[in-house]
A and B are shown apart, each in its own frame.
Chain A
Amino acid sequence: MSNVLANQERLKIFGLLSPAYLWLTVAIFLPLSAMLYFSFLSDVPFGDAEWTYTANNYRAFFQTSTYATLLWKSLKLGLMVTCISLLVGFPCAYVLAKAIKGRSREALFLLVILPFWSNSLVRIFSWAIVLRGNGVLELGLNAILPFEVDVNLMFTTPAIVIGLVHSYLPYVILTSYLALQAIDDNLIDAARSMGANKLTILWRIILPLSLPGLLAGAVLIFVPVVGSFMEPRILGGRVGTYFGTVIEDQFVAVFNWPLGAALSFILLAVVLLILAVASPVLKRAQT
Chain B
Amino acid sequence: MKKQFLMATTIAVFGTAAAADEIRVLNWQGYGTDLDWAVGAFAQASGHTVVHEYFNSEQEMLTKLRTNPGAYDVVLINAAFTPQAQEEGLIGPIDVTLIENLSDVPPDIAGNPDLNAGGALHGVPWTWGLTSFAVNTGEFDQTPDSIEVFWDKAHEGKVSIRDDALEAVQFAAIATGQDINNISDLDAVQAKLAELMPQIKTYWGSENDWNQFMAAGDLDVATFWSGSASRSMAAGLPVQFVVPKEGAIGWLDGLSIPTSSTKKEAAHQFIDWMIDPEFYVKWAADGAPASANAKAAAALPDEAFNKRILGDPEVVARVQFQRPVSEENRKKYLELWQGLKAAQ
Contact = CB atoms under 8 A, between A and B. Distances in A.
Contacts, number: 70
Given A64-B335, A132-B216, A238-B197, A46 B67 contact: yes
Contact of B338 (A47, A66, A134, A239): A66
Contacts of A44: 63
Interface in B296-344: 334-335, 338-339, 341-344
Provide the main secondary structure of the chain A interface.
loop
Interface in A152-175: 154-155
Most chain B C-beta atoms within 10 Å of own C-beta, residue among A70, A133, A134, A155: A155
Interface of B: 56-57, 59-60, 62-63, 65-67, 69, 88-89, 163-164, 197, 200-203, 216-218, 334-335, 338-339, 341-344
Across the A-B interface, the 5 shortest Cβ-Cβ residue pairs: A47-B66, A237-B202, A255-B59, A241-B341, A46-B67
Interface residues of A, number: 28
B203 A254 contact: no
A254 B201 contact: no
B66 A254 contact: no
A44 B338 CA distance: 21
Given A66-B335, A237-B201, A46 B63 contact: yes
A70 B56 CA distance: 25
Interface string A42-55: 00101111000000
Contacts of B217: 133-134
A69 B57 contact: no
Contacts of B56: 252-253
A86 interface: no
Contact of A69 (B63, B197, B203, B342): B342
B342 A238 contact: no
A134 B67 CA distance: 47
Contacts of B202: 155, 236-238, 240
14 contacts: A66-B335, A69-B343, A132-B216, A155-B201, A155-B202, A237-B202, A237-B203, A246-B338, A252-B56, A253-B57, A253-B164, A255-B60, A255-B62, A255-B63
